[in-house]
Every structure is written in C-alpha cells, then in structure tokens.
Structure 1
Amino acid sequence: MQLNERETPEGLLVSVCDDDVLGETFEEGEFSLTVTEEFYAGEAATDGDVVESLARADVANIVGTNAVDLAVEEGIIDEEAVLEVGETRHAQLLRMY
C-alpha cells in the first residue's frame, strides 16, 4: 500500500491506497474517482504502518479493496460508510473534536 501523511491547518491528512489502484480512475454512475499520484503516492507501507497512521489521522482518504478492508477490520471505518466505486472501494474519515 501507499501511505502519504501531511500536516494541514486542520490537522493530519492521511491518504492510503492499494498499489494497484494508483493512477487509475474509477466510475460509478455520475461519480468518478481518480487516484492521483500527487495525492496518494507516498511511502510503501505495511498493514501496521497504515493502521498506526489512520489512528492518528484527523482526515483520511482510503482507496482500494485491501486498504479499505484493513480500515474496516481495525474498526477505523464503519462498513456502512464504504463506497463501491467501479471495481474498487473508497472511504473517508473525518474526526471532529
């Protein structure tokens, strides 16, 4: 998986994607999702790295079946909040304090 962290005025923004979806575009009805290298490319990450990063995230974007499934299994994302976009899965996280 690719893991990218950046500090923003709103807090830690984390983007995670499966390696095989990087650079791809997925469509479902009128909805289109492009997994750009600019936003998602980062460091190669293990499952543990991803879980640790998502646990600290204030905002997160997660794309790819493996990445989203991991976030759901770890209780970070609720399955009901997951979108099926074409041949992949997408979830977003926003923590409000």
Structure 2
Amino acid sequence: MMGDDGAPGDYNEMSMCLRTYTIGGEVLVAVCDSELLGQRFTEKELQLEVSVSFFGQELASAAMLEMALEEATIANFVGERAVAWAIAFEYVDRENVLRIDGVPCAQMVRM
C-alpha cells in the first residue's frame, strides 16, 4: 500500500476515523482505519474493540492526522493505514507494532 514516493497511501484520502480528546494537560488522538469501526478482534488473551464511542465517526486524511499528532501527548493507532502513517510520520517504530487477530495497532506517548 506504499505510494511511489514511499508514503503509505494518498495523503489526502479521507479513509480513517480520527478523534481528539483534551484531558487536563494531555491531548489524546485516537485514529483507526474507517472500515474497522465497530469491529472487535480477539487473539488469545488480547482483545481490541474499535468502538465508535472512542474513535468517533469523523473521517480524516493523513494530512489531518499529521496536524493532530503535532499536539498529541498520547495517541492510539489501529489498522493498516493508521499505523503505516504513524510510522511514516515517525511517531511509532515498526518493531513496536502489535497485531491482534492480524490487525496492527500501536500507541505513542510523548514524555
């Protein structure tokens, strides 16, 4: 899914759901691939629920994600595109990506 320039896809494609929370001094960004919304994934003792209540329903592009991440102190990424962009923007290292039932997920905390 990498583009000719090495990017994980179309920078302006509205293919992810993005929600931002501000809690005290923390800014949490939750982003998932839009087609995963409402699904649950289980592998052994691990469970991942991609809920509308957490990720929201606002469609976003990688451009919008990049702007949101500039302010983020915490971020959750779920899905091939969301995680690929997190890696491309250097918020997540590839070796720190977890897969639950084949679905990539990662977290970022800025200290």
Normalized against structure 1, the TM-score is what?
0.92
Of structures 1 and 2, the larger Rg is shown by 2
Could you tell me the percent identity over the aligned residues? Answer: 35
Unaligned runs of 5+ in 2: 1-15
**Is residue 55–residue 76 contact of structure 1 (8 Å, CA) maintained in 2?**
no
Unaligned runs of 5+ in 1: none
1:69 and 2:69 matched: no
Distance 2:25 2:96 in 1: 22
- Check 1:41–1:93 CA distance in 2 against 1; reply closer, same or farther (3 A cut): same
Normalized against structure 2, the TM-score is what?
0.81
> In the TM superposition, what is the alpha-carbon distance from 1:55 to its structure 2 partner?
2.5
1:52 and 2:67 matched: yes
Aligned residues: 96
**Is residue 71–residue 77 contact of structure 1 (8 Å, CA) maintained in 2?**
yes
Deviations 1:26-56 (A, max 9, x none): 1122100001110011421111101111222
